[in-house]
Structure 1
Amino acid sequence: MLKRILVTTTVLFATFSFLLPAKAHEHGMMKEDIVDVAVANGSFNTLVAAVKAAGLVDTLKGEGPFTVFAPTDEAFAKLPDGTVDMLLMPDNKDKLVAILTYHVVPGKVMAADVVKMDKATTVQGQDVMIKTMGDKVMINNATVIATDVKAKNGVIHVIDEVIIPK
């Protein structure tokens, strides 16, 4: 009888040991911020370099919450030759900040909320236009290719183009 109680207790303890970390993760107890998530992903090297050059790392590691429409490295590669190098130059920091903050919306806006919107005001101050066509969502001219990449201080939606403010 004692042996059966010990076995049952051990099994229950082991089961709860595996379930508790999963539940903690589901309830938003993530340790990585938006910058850490982007770095770890490996598809945002250009974006991360631009965030560093613009001096926005501390901001995007801050409390937030932020919604980032994050262009991939391939999206940056679509820009005309020399554009990224030009933007990364210290003399063009204001332009770079304007472009990057145009990709950020204050608050945590999940995909289910984005599809109900027709525009969103960015941290830069201008609106991005949002169009939903079937299962395709557009942010200005960019297509959203992945959604709801969660971070402890917000969410990332991956886009296939760099969006430029007016």
Structure 2
Amino acid sequence: MKLSRMITGSLLATSLFFVAQAHNHGMKADIVDTAVAAGNFTTLVTAVKAADLVDTLKSEGPFTVFAPNDAAFAKIPAADLNALVANKEALTSVLTYHVVAGKVMAADVVKLTKATTVQGQDLAIEVKDGKVYVNGAQVIATDIKTSNGVIHVLDTVVMPKM
């Protein structure tokens, strides 16, 4: 167990090193590579792979991703999450519901009341007590710039109408 943690930690450190080097040379990692390097989007990255959306999120874009972190996915009961990952169509719908076409920085998000996702449905955006909420999920980090867009971190997975 300790060896696997050491290897995982070493791989994460190596990934972060290469992402940092890319940033230092004026290059930015794409949305997927940025999420992998961050280390707290492992469930999201696993889901993106299961839905065959990696190539899409590595494409030119630009995209704005309201990305649930691992703690957000942990709020979903394991059986429900496993069922979602097993249903590629539903998983794709949920994941694309977190993506908006274009690069929408936080300064612009706060001016919106809704945003249409690439899934087709709208996300409700609300600013309350100085905090930004997307369909009730709090935005806990903003403006993580990538080569093909921007990531804003959510504390909860938002679900489209199915």
TM-score interval, smaller chain: 0.7 to 0.9
CA deviation after TM superposition for structure 1 residue 30, in Å: 2.8
Match of 1:34 in 2: 31
SS at match of 1:79: coil
- Paired with 1:78 and 1:159, the residues of 2 have a C-alpha distance of 12
TM-score (normalised: structure 2): 0.83
- Paired with 2:28 and 2:69, the residues of 1 have a C-alpha distance of 23
- Paired with 2:145 and 2:79, the residues of 1 have a C-alpha distance of 32
Structure 2 unmatched runs, 5+: 1-22
SS at match of 1:88: helix
SS at match of 2:89: helix
CA deviation after TM superposition for structure 1 residue 84, in Å: 1.7
Superposed counterparts of 1:33-72, under 5 Å: 33-72=30-69
Superposed counterparts of 1:2-17, under 5 Å: none
CA deviation after TM superposition for structure 1 residue 135, in Å: 1.8
Match of 1:81 in 2: 78
Superposed CA deviations along residues 79-132 of structure 1, whole A, max 9, x for unmatched, are: 12312211222xx10000000000000000000000000000000000000000
Identity between Structure 1 and Structure 2 (%): 66
- Paired with 1:39 and 1:58, the residues of 2 have a C-alpha distance of 14
Letter in 2 for 1:108: K
Indicate the structure (1 or 2) with the bigger Cα radius of gyration.
Answer: 1
- Paired with 1:142 and 1:110, the residues of 2 have a C-alpha distance of 17
CA deviation after TM superposition for structure 1 residue 134, in Å: 3.1
Structure 1 stretches of at least 4 aligned residues deviating more than 3 Å after TM superposition: none
Superposed CA deviations along residues 52-94 of structure 1, whole A, max 9, x for unmatched, are: 00000000000000000000101001012312211222xx100
Cα RMSD after superposing both structures: 1.7
- Paired with 1:94 and 1:36, the residues of 2 have a C-alpha distance of 24
SS at match of 1:75: helix
- Paired with 2:46 and 2:79, the residues of 1 have a C-alpha distance of 15
- Paired with 1:82 and 1:103, the residues of 2 have a C-alpha distance of 21
SS at match of 1:109: coil
Letter in 2 for 1:76: F
TM-score (normalised: structure 1): 0.81
Match of 1:9 in 2: none
